[in-house]
Amino acid sequence: MKIDIISVVPALLESPFAHSIMKRASDKGLLQVNVINLREYTTYTRAQVDDYQFGGGAGMVMMIEPLVNAIESLQKNTPYDEVIFLTPDGETFNQKMANYLSLKNNLLLICGHYKGIDQRVRDHFITKEISIGDYVLSGGELAAAVVTDAIGRLIPGVLNNETSALTDSFQDNLLSAPVYTRPEEFRGWKVPEVLMGGNHAKIEAWRDEQSLQRTKERRPDLLEGELGEL
């Protein structure tokens, strides 16, 4: 999979992809992440990419020309399955969307900055708009890192144990069951006996029960959404 990310501040994305699972995905040749500096595509002096908004009002807006120059230049070499704008008013990102995007070959992510991007870019080039939550960040770079990480770890071969991703929270609209590791007892706090018995059928049944109970207590809305789809 290839993910290209257009950013005004590409240095913000150096660390997230240089370590841990994302680095492993890159080293294995399973995920290629390219961060593109938008300022390289502007024809304005001093590498300008933003300007005042028409109609007045506080906040600068990312201009249409540099963005379109960057998008069209990249599209000449890469047929993108989705051109994604990261914005607070986009569709809320969730595990289902991560699963969907992980099946694609090429994605282009555009990081908003300042007050946002010229609406004409959204009207004519963007195929999907994504928000990672109901709050506002200084730019879309952190959101791009979140989306890329959530997608990348789902690519077959990235995780050492591929079944790990299938048991994560939000798969099947449920939260994960509690997990434990050594030592078996610490300060009198013991691991549930069922996990120590070696009966895999009982262990799976316990985990299913715990997962459902945790979801009922913490995120009942997930169960309501599941029932609504039946």
Contact between residue 143 and residue 111 where contact means Cβ atoms under 8 Å apart: yes
Helix, strand, or coil (residue 9): coil
The CATH number covering residue 225 comes to 1.10.1270.20
Any residues with CB less than 8 A from the CB of 154 and at least 6 apart, and which? 98, 99, 102, 165
pLDDT digits (tens, 9 = 90+) for 123-182: 999 999 999 999 999 999 999 999 999 999 999 999 876 556 656 656 678 999 999 999
Q: How confident is the model at residue 207 (pLDDT cuts 50, 70, 90)?
A: very high
- In this structure, are 7 and 72 located in the same domain? yes
- In this structure, are 138 and 99 located in the same domain? yes
Domain count, the chain: 2
pLDDT digits (tens, 9 = 90+) for 15-46: 999 999 999 999 999 999 999 999 999 999 89
pLDDT digits (tens, 9 = 90+) for 88-127: 999 999 999 999 999 999 999 999 988 999 999 999 999 9
pLDDT given for residue 163 in this prediction: 55
pLDDT given for residue 164 in this prediction: 60
- In this structure, are 13 and 81 located in the same domain? yes
Contact between residue 155 and residue 25 where contact means Cβ atoms under 8 Å apart: yes
Question: Angle CA(39)–CA(9)–CA(67) in degrees, nearest 5?
Answer: 40
* Domain range for 91: 2-152
pLDDT given for residue 169 in this prediction: 59
In a domain, 215, yes or no: yes
Global confidence as pTM? 0.89
Q: Which of 89, 124, 152 is the last residue of a domain?
A: 152
In a domain, 82, yes or no: yes
In a domain, 121, yes or no: yes
- In this structure, are 145 and 88 located in the same domain? yes
pLDDT digits (tens, 9 = 90+) for 47-91: 999 999 999 999 999 999 999 999 999 999 999 999 999 999 999
- In this structure, are 130 and 200 located in the same domain? no
- In this structure, are 130 and 180 located in the same domain? no
- In this structure, are 148 and 174 located in the same domain? no
pLDDT given for residue 224 in this prediction: 86
Longest dimension (CA), the chain: 70
